[in-house]
């Protein structure tokens, strides 16, 4: 679907190690899951979903196909990135492609790993990152204001409406506030203005607290500070140890569970990043289940049955008649499609049906 999560961070905080672990882990599963590296700093990775495994136990398909997410390793973030310092231009162009930003910050001491700011302070690092995002937004917005002023002189009504929003927004973010907290007076004008600007601080933000092994079981002072900072802004925090994640890339599920258990955690940091990122993007999965393939299809929450069918093929939407639906819970409880039908758990749904997360579906269509 082209929806991405961008990993952002200062040098030597574990950002690239986390990204490398993501790509290596999924590449190791290439026999079962689709994987491709689009560019050196981009990857498509499968979304972990145990429901697929449970469906496969019943159906015994030839292959499994997971939903996927795009991840982008954003390069060159240093102070002044918004003004072109480091790889500033590449940083800006890459991050605009994403819908969610994951800010990786270092939350452990290690004298062998230098920090560009000379000390460990994740809140300071977050503020550096977000200041650069704000400065970049202000620069983009000023250019748009200058353009809108010219159009507004020609009595362009849309330009006048957008200009009013843009000037109010500029004043708002100049005080250090992110676009995401701006109360939009005119939602349509704001969307029209932001459609191609894709202002960085309008995006969903999560924090990745990178700890050492000792910091996994119990929060250290740095993680506590990040969680407090995030809670004030209603943002997610994912605690992970990038080093451990990279070590586990070749482990099978049993070995991974044993390793995590020995460290006092239940779910890997990478799985949390993918799962929570998927949710932040407003996405969910429905399933198709056959002997050839059990597959998760990615759709936005609130999608109707015909639009969900179009994800498989456009003809499915054009000739949509109805959808046969079994909830995941009923499918598993009954032991498969046929027994679910015998138990009366199979439903026929029409064009207005809103697909639910986990629905097992079969579409009837005629083109």
Separation of alpha carbons 217 and 263, rounded Å: 6
Separation of alpha carbons 271 and 276, rounded Å: 8
Non-local (6+) Cβ contacts of 262 within 8 A are none
CA 178 vs. chain centroid, Å, equals 19
CA 129 vs. chain centroid, Å, equals 18
CA 259 vs. chain centroid, Å, equals 26
Separation of alpha carbons 84 and 178, rounded Å: 21
| CA-based nearest residue to 287, from 54, 5, 3 | 54
| C-beta of residue 21 within 8 angstroms of C-beta of residue 245 | yes
CA angle 354, 273, 182 (to 5 degrees): 70
Separation of alpha carbons 2 and 295, rounded Å: 18
Bridge partners of residue 325, in order along the sequence: 347, 361
Q: How many CA atoms lie within 13 A of 200 on its CB side?
A: 25
Separation of alpha carbons 256 and 262, rounded Å: 10
| CA-based nearest residue to 100, from 357, 279, 281, 270 | 281
Q: How many CA atoms lie within 13 A of 272 on its CB side?
A: 19
| Binding-site annotation: residue ranges for ATP | 12-17
């Amino acid at each position: 679907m082209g929806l991405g999560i961008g990993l952002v961070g200062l040098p030597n905080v574990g950002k690239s190690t986390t990204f490398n672990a993501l790509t290596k882990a999924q590449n190791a599963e290439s026999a079962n899951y689709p994987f491709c590296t689009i560019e050196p700093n981009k990857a498509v990775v499968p979304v972990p979903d145990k429901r697929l495994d449970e469906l496969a136990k019943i159906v015994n398909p030839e292959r499994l196909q997971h939903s996927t997410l795009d991840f982008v390793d954003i390069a060159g973030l240093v102070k002044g990135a918004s003004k072109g310092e480091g790889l500033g231009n590449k940083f800006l162009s890459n991050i605009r492609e994403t819908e969610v930003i994951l800010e990786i910050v270092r939350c452990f001491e290690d004298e062998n790993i230098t920090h560009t700011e000379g000390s460990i302070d994740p809140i300071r690092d977050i503020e550096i990152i977000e200041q650069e995002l704000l400065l970049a937004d202000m620069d983009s917005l000023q250019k748009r204001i200058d353009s809108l002023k010219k159009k507004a002189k020609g009595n362009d009504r849309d330009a006048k409406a957008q200009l009013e929003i843009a000037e109010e927004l500029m004043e708002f973010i100049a005080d250090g506030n992110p676009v995401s907290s701006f109360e939009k007076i005119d939602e349509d004008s704001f969307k029209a203005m932001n459609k191609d600007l894709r202002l960085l601080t309008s995006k969903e933000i999560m924090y990745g607290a990178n700890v050492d092994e000792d910091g996994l079981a119990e929060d250290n002072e740095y993680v506590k500070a990040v969680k407090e900072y995030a809670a004030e802004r209603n943002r997610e925090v994912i605690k992970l140890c990038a080093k451990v994640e990279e070590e586990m890339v070749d482990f099978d599920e049993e070995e991974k569970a044993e390793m995590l258990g020995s460290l006092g955690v239940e779910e890997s940091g990478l799985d949390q990043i993918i799962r929570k990122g998927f949710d932040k993007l407003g996405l969910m999965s429905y399933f198709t289940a056959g002997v050839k393939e059990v597959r998760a299809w990615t759709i936005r929450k609130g999608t109707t049955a015909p639009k969900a069918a179009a994800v498989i093929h456009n003809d499915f939407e054009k000739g949509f008649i109805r959808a046969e639906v079994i909830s995941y819970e009923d499918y598993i409880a009954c032991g498969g499609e046929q027994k679910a039908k015998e138990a009366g758990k199979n439903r026929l749904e029409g064009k207005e049906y809103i697909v639910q997360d986990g629905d097992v579906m079969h579409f009837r269509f005629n083109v």
